[in-house]
A and B are shown apart, each in its own frame.
Chain A
C-alpha cells in the first residue's frame, strides 16, 4: 500500500475511532453554575457603567460629480451578537426595549452595496440575495462557491467583493491532498453563476518546499482591474514567508505576477472607502494612518497629531468633492480626548490635523458605525444612555441603539425621529434616502427609503 493511501486510510480510521471512543459526559451542573456566576457578576458590575468603545465599520464611499452622494460598502461579519430579542419595525417612536441575554444566530455574514444600486446579503444556510434597484426588490437565494469542509477552506467571507451589481469575486485558499492552492471565482451576472478564474491555474503550489498558501485576499477597483495578495508559510518553520501579488487588467482573464509585496489586505485589513480609496492603521505605527487613492498601488503613511500610544479605531474616511480627506476615528478614553475625533488632510494624506473633537449631546454615550451620505451628512448608530431619552421604559438601565445623523460633519448630532432598530450595528447607503441595515433575532435585513426614519423588513 502506498504511503498516501495509508495516510488517507489512517485519517479515516482515526476520525471514526475518535468519534466512537470520545463521548464526553454532560456539562456538570456545578461547572454551569460557576460560568453563570461569572456572567452574572460581570453584568451586574456593568449595570451602571458607560457602554463600550465604538465599533469598527468597514465603509466605502463612492463619490463623483459635485459633492459625493454616498454608498457605503461594509462587511457585516457579525451576526451573533446583536443584543435584542425585540425586533422593531421602527415605524414609530415606540421606546426601544432593553437588551436581553439572548443572541441571534450568526446568519448574516456579508452585506454590501455598490454605487449602481446593487446590494448583496450573504446568509449562512440561505445563500446570496441580490438587489439591483437599491433594495426595492431582491433576488431568490443564489449559491456561491463556498466553504467546503472536505477541502478545509475555500474562501473567506471578507473576500466576497462586488464592484457593481453584476461583477464580483471570491478569493480563498483551498487545501487538498496535493497541497494548497489559491482560487479565484468571478461572477458577471450578479452571482447567478460563478466561474473559476485562470488565476487558479497559475497558482497551484509550485513546490511544497516553498510552503503552503495560507491566506489570500482580492481587491478589485472596477470590473476589469484587480489584484490578489497571497500569503505563504514555509513548512516546519511556521513563519509567514511574505506575500506575493498577482494583478489582472482584464477582469481575471489573465494575470500578471507574482511580485513580492507587503501583506496589506491580509494583515492589516484595509478598509475601502471607494474601490480606489482605502486606509488602514499600520500595526507598527498605531497612531498613524495609511491611505491609498489609487486602489492600493501606492500608500501614504502619516501620524495623526495629538495621540500617544493608544491604537486608534478608524471609523470612516470621507473624501469631499475637492479631495479633502476627513478621517473619523475613535480613541480610548485613556487618551483624555473626546472619544471621537475627526482628522483632516488637504494633501492626500501626507499630513493630518485634528479638525474636531466630537462632543456628543447629553444622552448619547457613543457614536458607532458612522456611514457617510455626503461629506457633511453622516448617519451613525448611537448608544443612547439611560436618562431623559429613555426614561419611562422598564429596561432603561441599559443603553439602546438608535440612528442619529449629523449634517455638519459631526459638530452636532440628533436622533432620527422614529428611526431605530434595536440592535442595528451599522447601515449601508445607496444615496441619502435609501439604505439598509441588519438587526433582530433572528437577524433580518431592513431597508429604508426616507433616510432612516422608517425601516421595512425584507421578506427573506
Chain B
C-alpha cells in the first residue's frame, strides 16, 4: 500500500538515512571531500525529486539510486580530470610485512583499476552486502547486468590479486 510521504516524514527519512548514505558515498568514492559533496548533492536532489517517491517504505532503494548516481558522476568526473593519477604500483606508505596488509593493498590497487560502474557494483555487493536485485534497483539496470558487471569486475581484479605478494 504505497503512501506518499509528507514533508515531515520525508525529513525524518533523510535524517535516518544520512549516516548510512555518507558511509556508502565514502566507500564508493574513497575520499572525504567527494563524499561530503556527494552526500549533500544527493539529499538536495532527493528533496527536489521527492514527489517521485511513491512509496516511502522504499526510501532506501529510491534514495540509494540517487546517491549512487551522484557518486557515479563524481567518479566519472574524477576520471576525466585526474591531475595526479593513482600510482597503482606504489608500495604502501607504511610497509607492513603481514600478508593481510599485502592482500589489502592488492585489493585497493585492483579496485583502483575499475571504472565507475564496476567499482560501484563491487562496493555495493561486497562491502554494503546488498543483494543483486537491490543493486539492480539502485543502478536502474537489470539484475543480469549487475551479475555481468560483478563477473567482469572480479575477472579484471583477478590478475592483480594473483600477483605474488
The CA of A103 and the CA of B2, in the complex, are separated in Å by: 16
Stretch at the interface among A20-28, A128-136, A346-354: A20-28
**What 0/1 readout, one digit per residue, does chain B (22-57) give for beta carbons within 8 Å of chain A?**
110011001010011001100110010000001111
Residue of A39, A56, A180 near B14 (CB, 8 A) is A39
Do A78 and B145 touch across chains, with their CB atoms under 8 A apart?
Answer: no
* Number of A-B residue pairs having CB atoms within 8 Å of each other in the complex: 198
Do B104 and A214 touch across chains, with their CB atoms under 8 A apart?
Answer: no
A-B contact pairs, 19 of them (CB 8 A): A10-B154, A18-B126, A26-B19, A34-B40, A36-B15, A38-B44, A38-B47, A43-B7, A43-B8, A77-B55, A81-B13, A99-B8, A101-B15, A102-B12, A103-B16, A152-B132, A211-B144, A233-B142, A369-B3
Q: Tell whether A80 pairs with B13 under 8 Å between CB atoms, given A234-B144, A425-B1.
A: yes
Interfacial chain A residues near B126, Cβ < 8 Å: 11, 14-15, 18
Q: How far, in Å, is A103 (CB) from chain B's closest CB?
A: 5
Q: How far, in Å, is B13 (CB) from chain A's closest CB?
A: 6
Q: Tell whether A77 pairs with B122 under 8 Å between CB atoms, given A25-B32, A31-B39, A153-B132.
A: no
Q: Is A32 an interface residue (CB 8 A)?
A: yes
Interfacial chain B residues near A149, Cβ < 8 Å: 129, 131
Interfacial chain B residues near A43, Cβ < 8 Å: 7-8, 11
Residue of A nearest to B56 (CB): A81
The CA of A348 and the CA of B15, in the complex, are separated in Å by: 48
Interfacial chain B residues near A34, Cβ < 8 Å: 40, 43
Q: Is A212 an interface residue (CB 8 A)?
A: yes
Within 8 A of B (CB), among A25-83: 25-28, 30-32, 34-36, 38-40, 42-43, 45-46, 51-53, 55-58, 74-83
Interfacial chain B residues near A426, Cβ < 8 Å: 1
Residue among B18, B122, B141 with most chain A CB within 10 A: B18
The CA of A51 and the CA of B10, in the complex, are separated in Å by: 13
The CA of A235 and the CA of B127, in the complex, are separated in Å by: 24
Residues of A within 8 A of B (CB): 6-7, 10-11, 13-15, 17-22, 24-28, 30-32, 34-36, 38-40, 42-43, 45-46, 51-53, 55-58, 74-83, 99-103, 106, 147, 149, 152-153, 173, 175, 180, 211-212, 214, 233-240, 368-369, 398, 425-426
Interfacial chain B residues near A180, Cβ < 8 Å: 143
Interfacial chain B residues near A46, Cβ < 8 Å: 6-8
Residues of B within 8 A of A (CB): 1-16, 18-19, 22-23, 26-27, 30, 32, 35-36, 39-40, 43-44, 47, 54-59, 100, 103-104, 107-108, 111, 122-123, 126-127, 129, 131-133, 136, 141-145, 147-148, 154, 157-158, 161
Do B148 and A235 touch across chains, with their CB atoms under 8 A apart?
Answer: yes
Interfacial chain B residues near A240, Cβ < 8 Å: 142
Residue of B nearest to A109 (CB): B57
Q: How far, in Å, is B44 (CB) from chain A's closest CB?
A: 6
Residue of A nearest to B50 (CB): A42
Which secondary structure dominates where chain B touches chain A?
helix
Interfacial chain A residues near B143, Cβ < 8 Å: 175, 180, 212, 214, 233
The CA of A13 and the CA of B105, in the complex, are separated in Å by: 12
Q: How far, in Å, is B152 (CB) from chain A's closest CB?
A: 9
The CA of A375 and the CA of B85, in the complex, are separated in Å by: 69
Interfacial chain A residues near B100, Cβ < 8 Å: 20
Do A14 and B122 touch across chains, with their CB atoms under 8 A apart?
Answer: yes
Interfacial chain B residues near A79, Cβ < 8 Å: 57
The CA of A11 and the CA of B127, in the complex, are separated in Å by: 11
Do A22 and B57 touch across chains, with their CB atoms under 8 A apart?
Answer: no
Do B132 and A78 touch across chains, with their CB atoms under 8 A apart?
Answer: no
Residue among A21, A28, A77, A153 with most chain B CB within 10 A: A21
Residue of A38, A57, A81 near B9 (CB, 8 A) is A81
Residue of B10, B59, B142, B157 near A238 (CB, 8 A) is B142
Do A239 and B142 touch across chains, with their CB atoms under 8 A apart?
Answer: yes
Interfacial chain A residues near B39, Cβ < 8 Å: 27, 31, 35
Q: Tell whether A42 pairs with B11 under 8 Å between CB atoms, given A175-B132, A234-B144.
A: yes
Interfacial chain A residues near B26, Cβ < 8 Å: 22, 24-25
Do A83 and B132 touch across chains, with their CB atoms under 8 A apart?
Answer: no
Q: How far, in Å, is B139 (CB) from chain A's closest CB?
A: 10
The CA of A211 and the CA of B147, in the complex, are separated in Å by: 11
Q: Tell whether A214 pairs with B142 under 8 Å between CB atoms, given A20-B104, A31-B39, A52-B4.
A: yes
Q: How far, in Å, is A273 (CB) from chain B's closest CB?
A: 15
Q: Tell whether A21 pairs with B54 under 8 Å between CB atoms, given A27-B22, A42-B10.
A: no
Do A101 and B132 touch across chains, with their CB atoms under 8 A apart?
Answer: no
Do B11 and A11 touch across chains, with their CB atoms under 8 A apart?
Answer: no
Residue of B9, B19, B154 near A103 (CB, 8 A) is B9
Residue of B14, B27, B133, B154 near A153 (CB, 8 A) is B133
Interfacial chain A residues near B5, Cβ < 8 Å: 81
Q: How far, in Å, is B21 (CB) from chain A's closest CB?
A: 8
Residue among B10, B142, B154 with most chain A CB within 10 A: B142
Interfacial chain A residues near B161, Cβ < 8 Å: 10, 13
Q: How far, in Å, is A148 (CB) from chain B's closest CB?
A: 9
The CA of A21 and the CA of B102, in the complex, are separated in Å by: 11
The CA of A57 and the CA of B1, in the complex, are separated in Å by: 5
Residue of B13, B15, B30 near A22 (CB, 8 A) is B30
Do B157 and A22 touch across chains, with their CB atoms under 8 A apart?
Answer: no
